[in-house]
Structure 1
Amino acid sequence: MLWFLTCVAALIGGYFIYGAFVEKVFGINEQRKTPAHTKTDGVDFVPMSTPKVYLVQLLNIAGVGPIFGPIMGALYGPAAMLWIVIGCIFAGAVHDYFSGMLSIRNDGASVPTITGRYLGNGAKHFMNIFAIVLLLLVGVVFVSAPAGMITNLINEQTSLDVSMTTMVVIIFAYYILATIVPVDKIIGRFYPLFGALLIFMSVGLISAVAFSSEHQILGGFEVTDMFTNLNPNDMPIWPALFITIACGAISGFHATQSPLMARCMENEKNGRFVFYGAMIGEGIIALIWCAIALSFFGSLEALQEAVANGGPGNVVYSASFGLLGVFGGIIAFLGVVILPITSGDTAFRSSRLILAEYFNMEQKTLRNRLLMAVPLFVVGAVLTQVDFGIIWRYFGFANQTTAVMMLWTASAYLLRYNKLHWITTIPAVFMTAVCATFILNNSTLGFGLPMQISTISGVIFALAAMVYVIKISKGKGDSDFANETQKEEDTPADTESKTA
């Protein structure tokens, strides 16, 4: 129990200490008008209160990733919790903060546009393709996962016999509606209520374990296990753990979601709470599910058996009903189901906005929103027929690669404006090495090279990427740099007065 509480305290402390440091390095401007005010359109650019924006951001980024990922990561033992804490504070929350704040500084732009501004058009075109692919994979994962979980719940707890296809159709219908209507009509109105259900689920389950006479939080592990690989299949921690636990530590999917709330945030001073803080909240959710997975089943072998008999969804079902009974289990289980649904709809919404930016098509009219959204749902419907396990594997790698691109974008921004770039460069180097090593070593998705060769090559590639980003960022012409720096520091009022 002490280990778990220490990890939670570390995350909260990270928000107040390191989060404040990151905010200082970025340099907020409370007088600068945000896109919510300068580009208000009643559809995507809509000012909303800070608590509401925070809850929507938390639900947007917290799909099944901070639940399924930590459950799978728990097979490595308590070392998974260590990565959640370190990754969340120094990589994931920093990544989310910059993806949101750079969107605000660029008029609410999506991640490909931001990447293009600081890394060049080549990076922009790459991210346009990669972000759409990632979001489609996310949308499919966040249709299939909740559809399967709801189908299982209904069939297990009632006499009904509901097919998964029926649930997929229902969820897709909701996604279409949530993607095209104004952001404050469904997402802004109902997500705070879903947030209350999420809090109940998280607090209720971990409290049930804490006060259980049968289960103890991490009761069967020693302190040294935090630094030991206990995987029953002898799977290596490097680099798989850092791909497996994505959303609970660092996730590129978040870079596609932060601009949604960057278009609704009323002041830059709220950025640390909304972006950095939401990631810390997701880290706590990830810690809770990692601790439950390590505690509820009694051993890693039993956890592995539960995963083998129904995947992470089976772990969620067993723990929810085993700890809270039928009524509490249903509420907790629904709290888990809501997470992927509230991320799946915004995944398709983000896709629509990225395509709209690419084709320079305004989204105020319903016709234009449908033109962008319908093809996405057609492709998504086709992808739901692909095996879930295959989709999840590609999602994991695509997710972390997107995070790498966002971190390098943030580094390029900091370098360009002579700010402390190491806060993003160090995690960028690490995650680049992780992704490169993984794809070189993995025989299913990648090249199947030996681990030693893959690791050395991955590290070299990461260092080369660092040199490249530093070179192109520092190599900008003096006049261009001066003009962009002035533009960055000016408030809208300053700019208007100079123009006049």
Structure 2
Amino acid sequence: MITLILSIIVLILGYYIYGSILEKVFGVQASQQTPAHRLADGVDFVVLPTWKIFLIQFLNIAGLGPIFGAIAGAMYGPAAFLWIVLGSIFAGIVHDYFSGMLSLRHDGKSISEVVGIYMGDGAQLVMRAFTILLLIFVGTVFLVGPAKIIDGMTGSIFGLWGWVGIILVYYILSTLLPIDKFISKLYPIFGIAMLLMAIGLIGALFLGDYHIPELTLSNMRNMTANPEATPLFPMLFVTIACGAVSGFHSTQSPLMARCMGNERSGKVIFSGTMITEGVVALIWAAVSMTFFGSVEGLNTTMAANNNNAAWAANEISVNMLGPFGGILALLGIVAAPITSGDTAFRSARLILADIFKLSQKNLLQRLWISIPLFVIAFGLTQIDFAIIWRYFSWSNQTLATIVLWTITIYLSTQGTSYWVSLVPSVFMTMVCSSYILIAPEGFHIAHTPAYIISFTFTILATIFFFWIRFKQQKANSAPIEIMQEEQQE
């Protein structure tokens, strides 16, 4: 219990202290007119209240991540607490705050366009393809996943594909309609429900007869059933993504950047939602380690149920919160992923509109861009869900790594404290490169050579950054040297 309480306190302090440091590093200009005012179109660029943007952003980035990811991450033991706290503060809010604010400063541009500005045309092309692919993966995962859960809860009234069709219709509407007519009306309700579910669970933990494992030196290890097959590094750092750092967040931030009325609200909207998600992930990790008796009990139960995190989340909610918990489970476990899936498609539409410079005021233009996205996503539903989920996880963290390096280059060009993003950039480069080398869906090579290769790649990436920084400094100093020579003459 002490570890959980201290972890939540540290996260809150991280928001106030480190969040303020990041805000100072960025240099907020409260008087500067935002894109929501300058480019208002009544569809995507619409000024919304800060509290409403907060709840929308929270639901956008949350989805199943802080629930399913935390349950799976809890199988590693209390080490999950450490990653959630440190990841959320020193990687998560850095990634979310700067990606959102950079989009805000660049007319609400999509993250792929922002990457292109600071990393060049080649990186922009790669990011455009990579981001759209990731968003389609997200849309597909959050199309089939919720459909399976609802189908099980309703006794197959409409069948799996019937629910897929119903959810797809909802996705089409939420992708095409103005943000203040549909999303801004529903999301705050679902966001509050998800928060209430987390509050209810932590209340049940405190009031019930539960023993939450403490983080100690002896249990700061891999506690999964097969540590050799699932090494703590890098697997834990990809398993818990949305509760620590997630590239998907940077695809959602531009949606909210287009609705902000003032730069000052960026800390609340971007850093605040990331820390809130971290708290939710902490609660679910703690509950998962406790509800099934122990970490070992969690591993045994999950293995007996095909590692079905949806089943585990539903069992925990209903048993710990009663009938009311069942309703919250339906909202949190079903509505949350659906409301991440729809904004994934909306983000993909905006990225394509940015690429082809198409106005989105006309409904027909929005429709023509969106149709191919839904066709591709529906085609991907025919592939094994587990395969799609694994590739989504790695793609998600790789995107986060690219965005962190972009932020580092931006801060370097501004002559400010680039180390706040350099450290997580280096760490996540090591995580993603070693994961793709070790994981079954990757190259599946032995751990030692994989770590050596990934460490070498990380060192080269870091050297490449400092080489870029050296070129920037040389280019910036050149005009000064010329002026000095002219003055001497």
- By the TM > 0.5 criterion, same fold? yes
What is the CA-CA distance between 1:474 and the residue it aligns to?
4.2
Equivalence for 2:486: none
Aligned residues: 475
Distance 1:224 1:48, change over 3 A: same
Match of 1:426 among 404, 423, 447: 423
CA distance in 2 between counterparts of 1:438 and 1:378 reads: 30
Distance 1:482 1:41, change over 3 A: farther
Equivalence for 2:275: 280
CA contact (8 A) 2:3 2:215 kept: no
What is the CA-CA distance between 1:162 and the residue it aligns to?
3.8
Tell me if 1:355 matches 2:352: yes
CA contact (8 A) 1:34 1:268 kept: yes
Equivalence for 1:295: 290
CA contact (8 A) 1:76 1:231 kept: yes
Equivalence for 1:306: 301
What is the CA-CA distance between 1:217 and the residue it aligns to?
3.0
Distance 1:482 1:338, change over 3 A: farther
What is the CA-CA distance between 1:467 and the residue it aligns to?
2.1
CA distance in 2 between counterparts of 1:144 and 1:293 reads: 24
Note the alpha carbon deviations across 1:85-140, whole angstroms, 9 max, x for none. 00000001110001100001111000111000001111100000100110011011
Tell me if 1:437 matches 2:430: no
CA contact (8 A) 1:143 1:341 kept: yes
What is the CA-CA distance between 1:226 and the residue it aligns to?
5.3
CA distance in 2 between counterparts of 1:144 and 1:185 reads: 26
CA contact (8 A) 1:323 1:329 kept: no
Distance 1:474 1:46, change over 3 A: farther
Equivalence for 2:151: 151
Match of 2:226 among 225, 230, 233: 233
Tell me if 1:198 matches 2:194: yes
CA distance in 1 between counterparts of 2:126 and 2:169 reads: 30
Q: Secondary structure at the match of 1:238?
A: helix
**Within 5 Å, which residues of 2 pair with 1:23-422?**
23-155=23-155, 161-213=157-209, 215-218=210-213, 221=214, 223-225=216-218, 227-234=220-227, 235-308=230-303, 309-310=305-306, 311-422=308-419
Q: Which amino acid aligns with 1:47?
A: V
Note the alpha carbon deviations across 1:436-466, whole angstroms, 9 max, x for none. 1111222x32222221221122122122112
What is the CA-CA distance between 1:333 and the residue it aligns to?
3.5
What is the CA-CA distance between 1:301 and the residue it aligns to?
3.3
Tell me if 1:452 matches 2:445: no
Equivalence for 1:490: none
CA contact (8 A) 2:55 2:192 kept: no
**More deviation, 345-354/356-365:** 356-365
> CA RMSD for the aligned pairs?
1.7
CA contact (8 A) 1:210 1:217 kept: no
CA distance in 1 between counterparts of 2:463 and 2:46 reads: 40
What is the CA-CA distance between 1:228 and the residue it aligns to?
2.3
CA distance in 2 between counterparts of 1:165 and 1:385 reads: 11
**More deviation, 322-331/191-200:** 322-331
- TM-score, length-normalised on structure 1? 0.92
CA contact (8 A) 1:34 1:266 kept: yes
CA distance in 1 between counterparts of 2:462 and 2:182 reads: 42
CA contact (8 A) 1:115 1:127 kept: yes
What is the CA-CA distance between 1:479 and the residue it aligns to?
7.5
Q: Which amino acid aligns with 2:170?
A: Y
Equivalence for 2:485: none
CA distance in 2 between counterparts of 1:236 and 1:426 reads: 22
Q: Which runs of 5+ in 1 are unaligned?
A: 484-500
CA contact (8 A) 2:67 2:284 kept: yes
Q: Which amino acid aligns with 1:305?
A: T
Note the alpha carbon deviations across 1:40-66, whole angstroms, 9 max, x for none. 111001011110111111010001111
What is the CA-CA distance between 1:281 and the residue it aligns to?
0.6
CA distance in 1 between counterparts of 2:218 and 2:100 reads: 36
CA distance in 2 between counterparts of 1:35 and 1:481 reads: 33
CA contact (8 A) 2:115 2:406 kept: yes
What is the CA-CA distance between 1:163 and the residue it aligns to?
1.4
Distance 1:293 1:177, change over 3 A: same
**More deviation, 222-231/274-283:** 222-231
Q: Which amino acid aligns with 1:261?
A: M
What is the CA-CA distance between 1:473 and the residue it aligns to?
4.2
Q: Which amino acid aligns with 1:331?
A: L
Note the alpha carbon deviations across 1:245-275, whole angstroms, 9 max, x for none. 1111000000100000000011111111100
Q: Secondary structure at the match of 1:76?
A: coil
CA contact (8 A) 2:221 2:232 kept: no
Q: Which amino acid aligns with 2:461?
A: A
**More deviation, 355-364/406-415:** 355-364
What is the CA-CA distance between 1:335 and the residue it aligns to?
2.1
CA distance in 2 between counterparts of 1:207 and 1:332 reads: 16
Distance 1:105 1:343, change over 3 A: same
Note the alpha carbon deviations across 1:358-402, whole angstroms, 9 max, x for none. 111111100110011010000001111111110110001000000
Note the alpha carbon deviations across 1:334-377, whole angstroms, 9 max, x for none. 22222111111000000001111111111110011001101000
Work out the percentage of aligned pairs sharing the same amino acid: 48
CA contact (8 A) 1:209 1:296 kept: no
CA distance in 1 between counterparts of 2:324 and 2:268 reads: 33
CA distance in 1 between counterparts of 2:215 and 2:392 reads: 33
Distance 1:147 1:225, change over 3 A: farther
Distance 1:222 1:396, change over 3 A: closer
CA contact (8 A) 2:310 2:333 kept: no
**More deviation, 325-334/289-298:** 325-334
CA contact (8 A) 1:416 1:481 kept: no
CA distance in 1 between counterparts of 2:44 and 2:291 reads: 42
